[in-house]
Structure 1
Amino acid sequence: MSTAQSTPPPPRDAPGDEPAPPGAAQASAVPAVPAVPAVPSLLRNRSYMLLMTGLTTESLGAGLALFAVPLVAYSLTGSVLQAGLVAAVGQVGALLTTLPAGVVADRVDRRRLVVGASTVGAALWVTAGVAAALGSLTAWHLALVLFGASVVGAFVDPATSGAFRSVVPPPQLPTALAASQGRDAVASLLAGPVGGLLFAIGHAVPLAAAAVGSAATAVCTWAVREPLNRDTAAARATRPVEALRQGLRFVWSVPVFRALLGLFVVINIAFGGLLVGINLELVRTGVAPVLIGVVDLSVGAGVLVGAVLAPQLVARVRAGALTVAALTLLAVGAVVMATAQTYAVYVATLPVAVLLVPAVNAGLAGYAAAITPHEMQGRLASIMGLTGLVAGPLIPLVGAGLLERYGIGTALVVLAGLLAGTVGAIATVRPLWRIGTPQTWADDSLPATGGAA
Structure 2
Amino acid sequence: MPRTRRMPTATDTTMKVDIGSSTDVPETTDTAPTALPADSAAVRHGATLWGNAPYLLLMTGKTGQLVGAGVAAFAVPLVAFAVTGSVFLAGVITAVAEVGVLVVTLPAGMIADRVDRRRLIIVCSAIGIALWASLAITDAAGALGGWQLAATLAAASAVAAFYGPAETASIRFVVRPEQLGSAMAAMQGRSAAASLAAAPLGGLLYGLSRALPFVAGILGYLVAGITALAVRAPLNDPPSSEQASGAGSIAEGIRFVLGVPFLRLGVVVFAAINLAFDGVVVGVNLHLVAAHTAPLAIAMVDVAVGITMIAGSVLAPTLVKRFPTGWLAVACLIPSGLGAVGMAVTDDYAGYIVWSCVMTAFIPTVNAGLLGYAAAITPLSLQARMSSVVMISSLAVAPIAPVIAGWALPTLGVPFTLGAFGALLLASTVALGVARSVRRIGRPGTWESDALTAAAG
TM superposition score normalised by structure 1: 0.82
Structure 2 counterparts to residues 11-410 of structure 1, below 5 A: 39-73=46-80, 79=87, 85-134=92-141, 137=144, 140-234=147-241, 237-283=243-289, 287-400=293-406, 402=408
Secondary structure of the residue aligned to 2:238 is coil
1:88–1:397 CA contact under 8 A, matched in 2: no
Question: Identity over aligned residues, as a percent?
Answer: 43
Instruction: Find the aligned partners of 1:439 and 1:433 in 2 and give their Cα distance.
Output: 16
* Pairs aligned (count): 414
Give per-residue Cα distances to partners, 1:227-256, cap 9 Å, x unaligned: 11111124x632222222222222222211
Deviation at 1:105, TM superposition (A): 0.8
Asked if 1 retains the 8 angstrom alpha-carbon contact of 2:377 and 2:450, the reply is no
Following superposition, the deviation at residue 108 of structure 1 comes to 0.8
More displaced, 103-112 or 82-91? 82-91
C-alpha spacing 1:115/1:397, structure 2 compared with 1 (3 Å): farther
1:272 maps to a residue whose letter is: D
Deviation at 1:174, TM superposition (A): 1.4
Report the Cα distance in structure 1 between the residues aligned to 2:141 and 2:348, rounded to whole angstroms.
Answer: 38
Q: Which of 433, 437, 446 is residue 440 of structure 1 equivalent to?
A: 446
User: How much does 1:58 deviate?
Assistant: 1.1
Instruction: Provide the aligned C-alpha RMSD in A.
Output: 3.0
- Pick closer, same or farther for the CA change 1:68–1:346 going to 2, 3 Å: farther
Contact 1:92 1:393 in 2 (8 A): no
Using a 3 Å threshold, how does the CA distance of structure 1 residues 316 and 87 change in structure 2: closer, same or farther? Answer: farther
The 1:248–1:338 alpha-carbon spacing in structure 2 relative to 1, beyond 3 Å, is same
Amino acid at match of 1:216: V
Distance 1:432 1:363, change over 3 A: same
Q: What is the letter of the counterpart of residue 98 of structure 1? A: T
- 2:246 maps to amino acid: P
CA distance in 1, matches of 2:277, 2:252: 32
Deviation at 1:442, TM superposition (A): 4.1
Distance in structure 2 (CA, Å) of the matches to 1:217 and 1:124: 15
Distance of 2:191 and 2:107 partners within structure 1: 25
Query: Contact between 2:45 and 2:51, CA under 8 Å: does it hold in 1?
Result: no
For structure 2, the residue ranges without an aligned partner over 5 or more in a row are: 1-42
Cα shift at 1:39: 4.4
Of the structure 1 ranges 393-402 and 106-115, higher mean CA displacement relative to structure 2 is found in 393-402
Structure 1 position 277, deviation (Å) = 3.6
- The 3-state SS of whatever aligns with 1:100 is helix
Q: Relative contact order: is structure 1 or structure 2 higher (C-alpha 8 Å, sep ≥ 6)? A: 2
Larger Rg: 1
Structure 1 Cα separation of the partners of residues 397 and 131 of structure 2: 23
Q: 1:138/1:295 Cα in 2 relative to 1: closer, same or farther (>3 Å)?
A: farther
Distance across 2 between alignment mates of 1:94 and 1:431: 30
- In the TM superposition, what are the counterparts of 1:404-423 in structure 2 within 5 Å? 411-423=417-429
Moved more, 430-439 or 70-79: 70-79
Aligned partner of 1:101: which letter?
A: A
CA distances 1:243-292 after superposition (whole Å, capped 9, x unpaired): 22222222222211111111111211221233234334545655444433
Task: Give distance in 1, aligned partners of 2:85 and 2:192.
Answer: 30
Report the Cα distance in structure 1 between the residues aligned to 2:54 and 2:226, rounded to whole angstroms: 13
Q: Report the AA paired with residue 192 of structure 2.
A: A
Contact in 1 for aligned 2:178/2:447 (Cα 8 Å):
no
C-alpha separation in 1, matches of 2:261 and 2:228: 35
Distance in 1 separating the partners of 2:353 and 2:205? 21
Q: Deviations over 1:95-148 (max 9, x none)?
A: 221111111111111111111112212322233344544555555544433321
Q: Distance in 2 between matches of 1:195 and 1:376?
A: 36
Q: Which runs of 5+ in 1 are unaligned?
A: 1-35
| Aligned residues of 1:77 and 1:139 also touching (Cα < 8 A) | no
Cα distance change on mapping 1:130 and 1:343 into 2, 3 Å? farther
What is the alpha-carbon distance in structure 1 between the residues aligned to residue 211 and residue 286 of structure 2? Answer: 20
